[in-house]
């Protein structure tokens, strides 16, 4: 019985990463690279993502080598309109709100959320 409960416990621990498919990263600052590209920075002033919003591309590339499983991976917004809205939300809220870039590692979907605004 002990062996069975131990084996079940290990199986459950192995499946935990599969359920945590969404990773969130707080935006502390940003830099406009071009009129269609923004670089997002964390608290340590290192860039962690590059946001591309064009009519033919609505994506964010994760560029932080400290997280090798995400480094260089492209995540996509629902549409170019959603990308432009996310970009505008980041620009207007990162100073006064908790602004986070959420990346779903299973579906490769990207979202931006702002909360706790002052």
pTM above 0.85, yes or no: no
What's the topology of domain 21-115? OB fold (Dihydrolipoamide Acetyltransferase, E2P) (2.40.50)
pLDDT > 90 fraction of the chain, expressed in percent and rounded: 77
Mean pLDDT on 35-48? 95
pLDDT score recorded for residue 49: 97
CA distance 111 to 102: 5
pLDDT one-digit tens code per residue, 66-109:
999 999 999 999 999 999 999 999 999 999 999 999 999 999 99
- Report CA 113 to chain centroid distance, whole Å: 10
Q: Got the DSSP string for 8-49?
A: HHHHHHHHHHHH--EEEEE--EEEEEETTEEEEE-TTS-EEE
- Closest by alpha carbon to 86, among 100, 71, 96? 100
pLDDT score recorded for residue 118: 84
């Amino acid at each position: 019985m002990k062996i069975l409960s131990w084996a079940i416990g290990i199986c459950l621990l192995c499946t935990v990463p599969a359920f945590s498919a969404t990773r969130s990263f707080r935006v502390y600052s940003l830099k406009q690279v071009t009129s269609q590209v923004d670089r997002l920075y964390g608290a340590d002033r290192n860039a962690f993502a590059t946001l591309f919003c064009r009519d033919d591309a609505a994506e964010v590339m994760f560029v932080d080598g400290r997280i090798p499983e995400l480094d260089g991976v492209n995540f996509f917004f629902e549409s170019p309109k959603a990308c432009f809205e996310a970009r505008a939300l980041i620009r207007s809220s990162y100073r006064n709100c908790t602004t986070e870039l959420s990346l779903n590692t299973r579906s490769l979907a990207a979202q931006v959320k702002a909360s706790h605004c002052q």
